[in-house]
Amino acid sequence: MTDVREAVAATCRSLAAQGLVKGTAGNVSVRVADGLAITATGVVFADAVADDVVIVDAERRVVAGRLAPSSELDLHRAAYADDAVGAVVHTHAPAAVALSLVSDRLPCVHYQQLSLGGEVDVVPFAVFGSPELAARTGAALASANAVILAHHGAVTTGRDLADAVANTALLEWACDIYLRARAVGEPAELTAAQQAEVVAAAVSTGYGRTREL
């Protein structure tokens, strides 16, 4: 399990280097057999090491590590209700937080958002670590790879750690684009028909994947 714990710690350091987290504001997990590896509470992302990550079993018991798991353990567990989810990233990224203060959703304004599920919900505020926050987040992630938490931050999921981190970066970029546009006027949204056209084109061309000539 040491390799898994180091992978989570390395992800934390990368998120800090990208400016997606500050200090201890966030948590990361990855699915493991019969449980998950998750950052401990109070971990400084920029300095994270393998010992800052614990393994928690299906009954919420710490089976590896000496620290208490993140206060958002139940939020992560809710996200793993979808068997396709292999990793979860929660940050307090600034653009996502800012958007949560002025809107109850991130409209689909760019086709790349389709990989997140299109429009991204902003779930109502609930105290960190609460059952309400876990339930609301889990419900939103049942049909998307991203959700924004009002007055709090963002959560993304992925097939693995790299995928979840990429979704975090994409969500933050989309939030920033939307906020910039909204400062000038009302941003135009992609219609359902336009989104369907993009999906069809992506499928037919293999968009976003390398391929031989």
Instruction: Give the CA distances from residue 85 to residues 76, 81, 146, 175, in Å, rounded to whole numbers and listed in that order.
Output: 10, 8, 12, 23
Has 72 been annotated as catalytic? Answer: yes
Helix (H) / strand (E) containing 204: helix 192-205
- 180 burial (CB, 10 Å; 0-12 / 13-18 / 19+) is exposed
Please tell me the total number of residues recorded for the chain in this structure: 213
Query: How many Å apart are CA 67 and CA 64, to the nearest integer?
Result: 9
What Rg value do the Cα atoms of the chain yield, rounded? Answer: 17
Residue 73 CB: number of other CB atoms within 10 A?
Answer: 22
Q: Which residues contact 197 (CB under 8 A, 6 or more apart)?
A: none
Catalytic choice (72, 119, 189, 212): 72
Positions marked catalytic: 72
